[in-house]
Amino acid sequence: LVGAGPRAVAYVSCDPASFARDVGYFRQSGWELSGLRAFDLYPHTHHMETVALLTPRG
């Protein structure tokens, strides 16, 4: 995905652990977390819908 050269990526995830892992991959590739919103659509569970905006650094 990063190799395609987008100006930004809107990333949606429903699990905090996989979100953290995947954002780590983006950061290692020179991207930064520019915006983040979390939505608790599944109360009383660890699942949280997360919508993030990732952009290339610089």
Which residues participate in catalysis according to the annotation?
14
Find where tokens 């919103």 sit. 37
How far is CA 19 from its chain centroid?
6
What's the Cα-to-Cα distance from 32 to each of 3, 22, 38, rounded to whole Å? 15, 12, 17
